[in-house]
Amino acid sequence: MATPPPAYSDQVLVEANGVTRTLLMNTPKQLNALSSAMITGFLRCFTAYEEDEGVKLLLIVKGKGRAFCAGGDVAAVVRSINNDSWKYSAHFFRNEFLLNYIIATYNKPQVSLLTGIVMGGGAGVSIHGRFRVVTESTVFAMPETALGLFPDIGASYFLSRLPGFYGEYVGLTGRLALLEESLKKVDTSDPFAICGIIDQYSQQPSLKEKSALNRLEIINKCFSKRTVEEIIASLEQEAPNVADEWVASAIQSLRKASPTSLKISLRSIREGRTQTVGECLRREYRMVCHVMRGDFSRDFFEGCRAILLDKDRNPKWMPPWLEEVHDEVVEKYFSKVDDPEWENLDLPPRRSHGRRLVPKL
């Protein structure tokens, strides 16, 4: 039976099986959205188990319900900003990004069992790990631009490393019981041995007819353009030549998203191609602090109002048009925050047995 260890939040339950530890996200009514308490619980677990010689493998599985993790609890972040100040949100994202970095450079194997919904912050606590297992029920999305935000949690690192320009597309506009039992019985940290166990229960999936990966040629052609405006224009040019509704759906998603979010997201993913995961997280922390402060746009608060709070699904973006989001405004999101109390994201050096730890991707 999964029980929370002393001083850990009951939102993260820990189950011990020999040398393995299973961490279960336990807020099913909220689709296991990452709260501040959940992030703190994960940080304590990952930090403690990395030093514990009696632990050789970490599993992260979903708690009750139909989601692995539906992202960060941004509604709570918005409420805290409205009731207090942006500094709570800065602390929230600082801890979340630190957790992403620790997972990306962890010295023990982590297996994430991605059943159900995986969005935003849920990707951050799984994709950066060594092993990710998906099922026929997995639904992956990065919906940040629809909220007036941008793909954070190190997304500019992993999205920029997808085939061709698929990362721009995703960022701007997705038999487990036996496997789990076998993993709980392991007595090794050898990633090759763990990979062998996963392979025993895995199948090579076939792409569904409507999968966007079947449109990679068009995606590369359109999403390789220099600007968001050119990407949309290229998609509109392709639309008459494509039989299905995929292009029209992509155009609609782009047209509905925050123009400011689209522009900073595109630049973020492009910069991520040549950066380390630590550099991506530090830059994204600057960006998210600007967003939380509302320094240059209030789109994030408007997006959360329309999608999460009032749920009228009709956000009023300002500015409303891509052409009105000028390069000099985009540039400001990548600058340091002009506040004497603000600090850059400080990520600790990560070493194991004298060896510098590097990301798995």
Active-site annotation, residues:
72, 121, 144, 152
Give SS3 for 203: coil
Q: What's the gap between Cα 360 and its chain centre?
A: 16
Residue 306 C-beta-side C-alpha neighbours within 13 Å: 17
State the pairing for strand pair 355-356/351-352. Answer: antiparallel
Give SS3 for 73: coil
State the pairing for strand pair 355-356/139-141. Answer: unpaired
User: Which residue bears the tokens 């699904």?
Assistant: 313
**Among 202, 320, 313, 308, CA closest to 258:** 320
Strand partners, 21: 16, 58
Q: What does the DSSP assignment read for 319-353?
A: S-SGGGS-HHHHHHTTSPP--TT-----PPP-EET
CB contact set of 183 (below 8 Å; sequence gap of 6+): 20, 57, 59, 111, 194, 197, 198
For residues 28 and 40, what is the distance between their CA atoms, to the nearest angstrom? 18
Peptide bond preceding 319 in cis form (omega within 30 of 0)? yes
Q: What does the DSSP assignment read for 8-48?
A: S-TTEEEEEETTEEEEEE--GGGTT-B-HHHHHHHHHHHHH
- Contact present, 131 and 112 (Cβ < 8 Å): yes
Q: How many CB atoms lie within 10 A of CB 311?
A: 9
- Contact present, 234 and 242 (Cβ < 8 Å): no
